[in-house]
Every structure is written in C-alpha cells, then in structure tokens.
Structure 1
Amino acid sequence: MSTRILFLSPRVTATGHALTDAARRRAMRVETLRDWRVPEHARESAGASLYAGPLFADAVAGELGLGLLEAPPDWLARLPYELTLRDVEFTTLAEARRLRRPAFVKPPNDKSFPARVYVDGSRLPGPDAVDDDVQVLVSDIVSFTVEYRLFLRDGEVRTGSRYATRGDLDVAPLAADPHRGEVLAFAEHLASTGLPSAVVVDIGLTDSGWAVVEANAAWASGHYACDADAALDVVLHAALPEAEVASADRRFLRPLPEVVHD
C-alpha cells in the first residue's frame, strides 16, 4: 500500500468521491476527518495530503504538517491586460466600499463573502461582518461565452473541463470540446505568470478573445469533468508535507492561522 494518505473534510462532494476512487486505485489510504479537530493518530502523518475547503484547511493543515500551495492573492491583478481583457485591482475591502460603480468583487483565496457583481461598494458587507483590511480583487464586469477549469502542474495542463456556457453550468471533458486547441494554446501563456507548480486556473472566452477568469487552490477545487487521476496528481503536489515543499514553491505557501483548541 502507498504511504500517501489523502485526508478529506466532512463535507461530501462529487470531487471528494472522485479523488477517493483515484487514490484507492493507486493503493493510497483515504481518511475523512469527522470534525474540525485532527485526531491524534493523524497528526503530522507521513506523506499526508488534503482535499478540503479553505476554512477547514486552515483548521487542520497545520496539525497535519502540510504546506498548502496557492496563487498569490494579487496574481490576477498583476497579469497583463492581454491575459485578462479587463482592469483588475488588488485592494482592501475598506477601499472597495468606496466604489460608486458596478464591479465584480471577490476575496482572492477564501470565501469570506460572496464573489459576485456589486452595484456599488455600499452593497458590500459592512465592517461589522467582514474586517476592513480583508484583501479583495475588484474587476471590471465581463461576460464569458464559455469557461474552463484547468489543473496545472509545472505550467502544463494535466487535465481540463468545460464548466459553464453563457453563465450556466455546462460540464464536459476538455478532450471532447471544440475549443480544446484554443484552450491549450492560451494556457501556454500561464507558465511564466508567477504561479505555484500545482494550481487550478479558470479561463474563458469573451467577445474580445480568451482571458483568465481566476486562479484557485488545487486542494480546494471541484474537478467538474476533469480526469480524476490527473487532478489527484495536482492535488497531491499542492497539499503535501511542508518539509517537502520545493524552495521555488515556498513563496506560494498559504499562511496558516494558529489554531487553539479548548
């Protein structure tokens, strides 16, 4: 049996099931953590990995001894216009509340408030709900004709899936999609944009051409119709024992909060 262990959060998802099946095909152990505490036997397990949402990952990754890779929070805002086809600003929620125009606003690497179009900054959560200094991405509004999820390893697309057409869920493997060649050609531009070696990137087609939608942590991303075995390879590299994180990837480690249990 493989020495790798894939830990899952208590939340049941289709991707969790798919990754479980893929892990078991390679004789890996899979264990679902039943609550937000890491049991004694699982702490700093040799060869651990994790598939979970950001909040749960923050609660357990430290005790599991994991390093979690993710794109820098300002990555999208630093991309050249030809890769985004819209203006994107990296700022704070306090500044975003000053907006007096419609904009798409989202937290870069968590779900502290809903990511969506806001009529203006007054519609964003107030300081009583979300702290002023929370980092956000403020983007011009753009419509995507079709959107794709790509699991990248070392800048290469390991697997991909269409997930939306004109904003509606529309899932199909990239291999069967008529835009496959264009998707892969555009994805080649992402290799030199300052991403960790294992990450998920969403891209889409607009009326003006191909553009990046956003980057996501592989250890927290749904796989849609991606090949589960290839997606698992990326997940295992994006959530691995902290001591095994390569020097080039250390700047992409998610800062983990100190967890104090009563």
Structure 2
Amino acid sequence: MELLAVEAAARGIPVRAAEEAGLTGPAHWYGGPVAGARLAGRLGFALLEPTDDWLAELPEQFTGRQIRAATVADARAIDRPTFVKPPRDKSFPADIHTDGSRLSSALDPATPVLLSDVVTFAAEYRLFLLDGRIAAATRYAVFGRLDPRPLGTDRGDRATAAEITEFTDHLVATAGHTLPSAVVVDVGQLLDPYRPGHRWAVVEANMAWFSHAYAADPARVLDVVLRAAGPREHLRPRDLAFER
C-alpha cells in the first residue's frame, strides 16, 4: 500500500486514509472489500471483481484440477481431503479439510465457497492484467511459503516469464471475456506426481484493489488498480457486469 501511495503521489494523485473525515469523490480505492463497499456510493467509485464461480467455470485445461462452486453447508458435508476457500474475500482462511468439522460454526451455511482437489504448486505468480495483457507480475510463493521475487530478472526467470505469458495469452483468448478489464490472476507451476516437470495452472482470480503487489512494479500495478476501482462515470460498458 505504501509503495502504491508513493507512486500515486508522484502522479499528483492525493492519497487519503479511509478513516479521514471530509472525504469527497470522485475517487479511486485500494483496500478491503467491507470498507470499499461502505464508501463506494459516497465517493463515487466502482469496484470491479471476478464472479464467485469464475474459477469453477474454467475448463480443466487451465485449472489442472476439479473445482466446484458450493456453499459452507456443502463444505461441511465433505468426506475426503478437499481444499476449501472463499471465492474472493478473506472471510475465512483457505485450507485443506479432511472433513467439514473444522469449519467455523459461525459461518452462514449459505456462504459461497470453492471446493477443489488438493494439489501442489511448486511456485505461484501474481499477474496484474489490464485489457487482457500482463501489466505487472511477481512471484509470491514457493511450495506454499511466501517468497516474493521480481519476475524476469535473470535468464531462468525470463524463460519462466515467457511460459507465463504464453499460458496467460491462451487463457485470455479462451476466457478473457469472463473477467473484468482490470483484475489479478494468480498462476502456478502445478506438480503432477505421475508426470515429470510441471504444468501451468490458474490458482485463482482476485480484485486488483485488494491484492498485494509483492515484488511487482508499483507503477504498473497502480495502472491496474486505478482502472479496477475508479470513478463510476468512467466505467466501461464491458465492465458493468463485474461491478460490485
């Protein structure tokens, strides 16, 4: 957030905290979904986000695993190891559950969730997409542990960047119309125990205005954030379906 604030200030964009009194719009937003939803009407910004079932509706060639959109009630009925996560927000921790007994009793049974096969990602990368192209990218995890690193800084990384670009171009050509024009898509190297090497797969999609930039270029990340959560009067017709 601090890096984006510095970049915004350098562009002459005033940066204010959500709690600050006397805020007026039109404005852009970078922060949590609860405060964003509360302030969107008063400050006149539109929040773009992928649909709850986007990942579940992707062809398996892009996910590398079976994923289905469900509810907390469905998750409480699972009887085999399953990765359970909220579709977009962080309303409860994403985790592997052998059954549904460890899910919080405080969760509404109707709360949307994604239920996924359990897989292993060797490395995970965050892509900030603008109009279907990668505007900024960063590695953020290795075998599930946080390990941010800029992408494309050495020969090996450049090869990885080329693979990611090829995979993303194919994804956008097939399913780009199902995403807002400014969004974050996380991809990873999916390990297959039955085949050597790895394959690329989508981890998830996220709201750009609520996504950590990690080691990505803040200037390019800000370009995506400004589109993803900007004045409602600037909303493009293709993005109307993705407004929160």
Matched, 1:197 2:176: no
How far did 1:114 drift?
1.0
Question: Structure 2-normalised TM-score?
Answer: 0.91
1:168 and 1:114 map into 2 onto residues whose CA distance is: 15
1:4-153 matched pairs, under 5 angstroms:
16-34=1-19, 39=21, 41-43=22-24, 45-46=25-26, 48-126=27-105, 129-153=106-130
Measured after TM superposition, the shift of residue 74 of structure 1 is 0.2
1:243 aligns with 2:222: no
Cα drift, residue 134 of structure 1: 0.7
- SS of equivalent to 2:120: coil
Using the alignment, how far apart are the partners of 1:222 and 1:132 within structure 2? Answer: 29
- 1:243 CA drift (Å): 2.5
8 Å contact 2:84–2:97 — kept in the other structure? yes
Cα distance in structure 1, aligned partners of 2:87 and 2:148: 24
Corresponding residue for residue 213 of structure 1: 203
Q: What's the offset of the Cα at 1:189?
A: 2.1
One-letter amino acid matched to 1:212:
V
State which drifts further: 220-229 or 168-177.
168-177
Distance 1:214 1:201 in 2: 6
1:51-109 CA-partner distances (Å, limit 9, x unpaired)? 00122212222221111000111000000001000000001111121111111111112
Q: Distance in 2 between matches of 1:196 and 1:28?
A: 24
| Distance in 1, Cα, partners of 2:164 & 2:33 | 27
- Please give the alpha-carbon distance, in whole angstroms, between the structure 2 residues aligned to 1:68 and 1:162: 25
1:182 to 148, 159, 163: 163
CA distance in 2, matches of 1:34, 1:245: 25
Counterpart of 1:24 in structure 2: which amino acid? A
Task: Give the counterpart letter for 2:215 in structure 1.
Answer: A
Letter in 2 for 1:196: P
Q: Any gaps of 5 or more consecutive residues in structure 1?
A: 1-15, 255-262
Residue 130 of structure 1 and its aligned partner are, at CA, apart by 1.2
1:167-186: CA deviations, max 9, x gaps? 22221111222411111111
Residues 26-45 of structure 1, C-alpha deviations (whole Å, 9 max, x = no match): 1111111237xxx3x324x1
Q: What are the superposed Cα offsets for residues 135-192 of structure 1, whole Å, 9 maximum, x if unpaired?
A: 1100001100111000000110001001111122221111222411111111112324
| Equivalent position of 2:224 in the other structure | 234
Between the two proteins, the alignment pairs up a number of residues equal to 231
Alpha-carbon distance between aligned partners in 1 of 2:148 and 2:62, rounded to the nearest angstrom: 24
Are the equivalent residues in 2 in contact too, given 1:99–1:122 (CA < 8 A)? no
How far apart, in 2, do the equivalents of 1:142 and 1:234 lie? 30
Please say which of residues 83-92 and 200-209 is displaced more in the overlay: 200-209
Bigger share in helix: 2
State how far apart, in whole Å, the 1-side matches of 2:223 and 2:16 are. 17
In the other structure, the counterpart of 1:8 is none
Note the C-alpha offset of 1:252: 0.5
Query: Does the 8 Å CA contact 2:119/2:191 hold for their aligned counterparts?
Result: no
Verify the 8 A CA contact 2:208 2:224 in the aligned structure 1. Answer: yes
